[in-house]
Chain A
Amino acid sequence: MEHFHTNPELNYLTNGHSLRSWLLTEDHKRIAMLYLMSVTFFFFIGGLAAAGVRYELMSPAGNMMESETYNKLFTAHGTVMVFLFLLVAIPAVLGNFLLPLMIGARDLAFPRLNLLSWYLYMAAGTCITLAMLGGGADTGWTFYTPYSSMYSNSNVSLTLLGVFLGGFSSITTGMNFVVTTHKMRAPGMTWFRLPLFVWGHYATGVIMLLGTPVVAITLLCVIFERTFQLPIYSPELGGDPVLFQHMFWFYSHPAVYIMILPAFGVISEIMTAFSRKRVFGYHMIAFSSLAIAFLGFLVWGHHMFVSSQSMYQSVIFSLITFLLAVPSAIKVWNWTATMYKGNVVLSGPMIYGIGFQGLFLVGGLTGPFLASYGNDVHLSATYFVVAHFHYVMVGGSIMGFLAGLHFWWPKMTGRLYNDTIAKWNAMLVFVGFNLTFFPQFIVGWMGMPRRYHYYYFAPEFTPYHILSTMGSSILGIGFAVPAFYLIHSLFKGEKAGDNPWNAHGLEWNTSSPPPTENFRYKVIVTDDVYDYDPVAEHENDMLAAGGKA
């Protein structure tokens, strides 16, 4: 594919129709499409598991399954959603597709590694799926030792192997992002002309590179201990069970920033494009991404306030966790200020984006409850924590993914979907989501521990679980509907044209869908990032309105 002169009639989708041209492609856009199909599939699997968990919890004594099945179900939900969806969705789909387009490059720095990362991801998905089909693992997605290494009689090793392979997929993706951002920018694309989406993915790539090897070796050690009785974590063999928690969270806390930083990037793009105004405090948002990436590595101990780590350790971790709240707050307020004196267009992606902000606000503002360890002693590992991280992961990461998918769908496919349905669906997801997870704050505050199958000894928790299950049904519909109207748009949608949103950015300067080589001309960047003019636009609007009158 080294020829620079493809037929102008062809775009990346029509340039080759054979299965081979898809499975051996080195085109970042096709790889993003492969990823899109696979993450959607796994999201469906994880969602089914979540539905099973929620319906089982409707009654205090359960009525669908045994405890063992329930445990395997929430483990499947957690493992699939975290390792096969959240860590992958925005970076590997939107990031892969857009990063080269946004910086004016022909492709990522290592196209073959990019293809390898998808195969590794599929191998990971295969391992985890096989483990589930063969009876499942029952350790929870956190795989705490010594239960996972010495006591569990389920398919832990195969699941861990899957996660291990998924880690390599993550590393290659991260390396690609970092190197591409450094080396592949078009002439004139300076660091401060980079879209914030690129900044977010750059920070994400750094986290993937530095963190993932740690969790890979940690989980490999669990496999070794299970298989060869190597004394690492089990005190019976002379190991240290809390060591696992340290090493696991050293990666898995930064991992939540792998899930949310790309979503920040997406929302930054959407807020500026639909406010028709340059984003407020560009430098602050860019640097807050880097600050989050850096500080994210220094807070892993806040998962372990009640796990026998020393009191002084907890003090440090609590303090840094509070500091970490600041960059997140900066971003939300900057987005708010971006809308001020803009020309806000309330399109489908924008409603998803505003929904993201509402949910992420709740998720972020419930962080301090858990960061202040005086409270965390009571709230740790209760449904309060479950609600908090679902607000951030689902309300943040998945809303961000949906917002980005709607925003760039015309660019990816060249088709327009029905914007009205998208708007209503965004509101439906928002309502269903709040109904699902807000009651869990209350029930967690009342002391309901997470990962509980039965609670017949505490019937006062029942109404909140019923509310939550009702909400999850609405949420399920809200997540299913986009699949229908987006697929419908592929066949019946209007042609989108190069720039349907009238947005500013290199990716909108090429055709939709883009050609295989991304740009049919030599890219030289001369204008500033987000070069909107809200005042002139407003005057034009007024003139148009006056002209009509």
Chain B
Amino acid sequence: MNWNLFNYPMNPPSASNFAAEHDALFYAIVGQALFFGLLTFALILWFAVKFKKGSKADRSSPQYENARMEFWWVLIPTLLGLATFFWSTKLFVDMRTPPKNAKEIFVVGKQWMWHVQHPDGVRENNTLHVPVDTDIKITMISQDVIHAFYIPAFRVQFMTVPGRYTQMWFRPTRVGKYHLFCNMYCGTQHSEMGGSVIVMSKRDYADWLAQHGQVRENLTAAQTGEKLFNKIGCGNCHGAQDLIPRGPSLRGLFGTTRETGDGRRWVADESYIRESIMRPAEKVTKGYGVTMPSYDKTFSEEDIMNLIAYIKAGAGQSIPTSTIAAAMPGIEVRDATGKAGLNSNEMQFKSERADATPTRRGKAPAVGALAVEKGDQQ
């Protein structure tokens, strides 16, 4: 279906599990639109010529109402619309339901860059490296205004909203380099808030993780969260057991159902934990008072993601390993000291590794410099 008029591409590349079905639906609607559009406009032009004033066409017994005809041309578009609706609903529900065992990547959007954090601690800006044929779940949030994380080649996009986690998932199917855009107007450099998604073979991805893992402290997200947990002293109130009246234990908290004092129930998911850190007085667990201070201005979004990763991992005294990394083929588990235990052969990183950051801004500010950035903005 690529009618190439000028020897220029007319389609986005198809590189994910959604692309095939998405394009099939798209071209099905193209067919519908062409059929009805051409039919109707041809009829209009034909009648305009055939029944031109003074032409010799038959004009006997004109009709001004015809209930049967009207009924049909209400029914047919309604049925076609409903068929399209059900098909697109199936696709949409697929897109919005991440598989259980997907590899999770965190993304923070901020003016005007994407900050990406892989579960084993590797971080990158404006570039997203993903392994091919792997389910990837992106959990994202914005640091300031609304952005939208948009990868045309994968046919996925979702907004990143400040103060709320959003998620999307995909499974890349073709190795290559694709556009990454911000698709929600977010200020001056909106058009340059983007970069590349680089899909690599699993082997290359493992090598890439190994090389980039050296860039920063070699800690998994959960381990970074643990450090922060201890530094702030969360454990003073959230200990190994529930400390009434100070605070409930966070061990094994993730995914359980929590009850507040007034009997409402909540599942302790990412958003619940984030809210409990930022605004602890909102949903106070039954049996406790409002004693916890708000950490709204203390933590960056990245800090909170790390804390959540720690709580997810059980909030025990030490994190064994990143379970997600363990599930990645070709990657050995790291030990608790954080040393990467990757396959020892030093394979050269083969995939194209251009730093695809398109901005002209030079170096992006460090993540810790957010407060300063905000001060500049206001």
21 contacts between A and B (CB under 8 A): A71-B190, A146-B145, A151-B144, A151-B187, A235-B163, A241-B146, A280-B63, A281-B64, A282-B64, A305-B92, A307-B146, A315-B92, A318-B92, A339-B47, A354-B48, A365-B36, A366-B33, A372-B87, A374-B22, A377-B156, A457-B179
Asked if B162 and A452 make an inter-chain contact with CB atoms under 8 angstroms apart, the answer reads no
Comparing A111-119, A126-134, A205-213, A329-337, the segment that makes contact with chain B is A329-337
List residues of chain A with CB under 8 Å of any chain B CB: 67-68, 71, 138-140, 142, 144-147, 150-153, 234-236, 238, 240-242, 275-284, 305-308, 311, 314-315, 318-319, 322-323, 325-326, 329-330, 332-337, 339-346, 354, 357-358, 361-362, 365-366, 368-369, 371-375, 377-378, 380-382, 442, 445-447, 449-458, 460, 463, 534-535, 537-538, 541, 545
Q: Within 8 Å of chain A (Cβ to Cβ): is B51?
A: yes
Classify the interface of chain B: helix, strand, loop or mixed. Answer: mixed
Residues of B within 8 Å of A140, CB to CB, are 185
User: B157 contacts which of A306, A346, A452, A454 (Cβ < 8 Å)?
Assistant: A306
- The residues of B that contact A453 with a CB separation of less than 8 Å are 190-191
Please state if B53 and A449 are interface contacts (CB–CB under 8 Å).
no
Size class of the contact patch on chain B = 35 or more
B231 within 8 A of A: no
Which of chain B's residues have a CB closer than 8 A to the CB of A68?
Answer: 188
Within 8 A of A (CB), among B64-107: 64-66, 69-70, 73-74, 77-78, 81-82, 84-85, 87-93, 95-96
CB contact between A138 and one of B9, B33, B92, B188 (< 8 Å): that residue: B188
CA distance A372 to B47 in the complex (A): 33
Residue B176 CB within 8 A of the other chain: no
The contact of A325 among B70, B81, B279, B358, by CB within 8 Å, is: B81
Closest to A460 in B: B9
Question: Which chain A residue lies CB-closest to B282?
Answer: A238
Supplied contacts A144-B145, A147-B187, A279-B64, 6 more A-B pairs, CB within 8 Å: A242-B161, A345-B53, A369-B26, A378-B156, A457-B194, A535-B62
- Report yes or no: B52 in contact with A344, Cβ–Cβ below 8 A: yes
Closest to B10 in A: A442
**Interface positions of B (Cβ within 8 A of A):** 6, 8-12, 21-22, 25-26, 29, 32-33, 36-37, 40-41, 43-45, 47-48, 51-54, 57-60, 62-66, 69-70, 73-74, 77-78, 81-82, 84-85, 87-93, 95-96, 111, 144-146, 148, 150, 152-153, 155-159, 161-164, 166, 179, 181-192, 194, 279, 356, 358, 377-378
Closest to A279 in B: B64
Complex CA distance for A235 and B54, rounded to whole angstroms: 68
Q: In the complex, what residues of B have CB within 8 A of residue A282's CB?
A: 64-65
Q: How far is the CB of A35 from chain B (nearest CB, A)?
A: 31
Q: Is the CB of A326 within 8 A of B78?
A: yes
Q: A146-B162, A369-B26 are in contact. Are A151 and B60 (CB under 8 A)?
A: no
Q: How far is the CB of B157 from chain A (nearest CB, A)?
A: 6
Interchain CB contact under 8 A, A322 and B82: yes
CA–CA, A538 to B113, complex, Å?
Answer: 69
Chain A residues near B179 (CB-CB < 8 A): 447, 457-458
When C-beta atoms are compared, the residue in chain A nearest to B7 turns out to be A463
- With both beta carbons as reference points, the residue of chain A lying nearest to B47 in the complex is identified as A339
Say yes or no: B192 contacts A277, CB within 8 Å.
Answer: no
Q: Are B77 and A375 in contact (CB under 8 A)?
A: no
| Nearest CB in chain A: distance from B312 CB, A | 21
Among A138, A153, A455, A460, the residue within 8 A (CB) of B8 is A460
A67 touches B189 (CB 8 A): yes
The smallest C-beta distance from A18 to any residue of chain B, in angstroms, reads 45
Contacts of B181 in A (CB 8 A): 447, 449
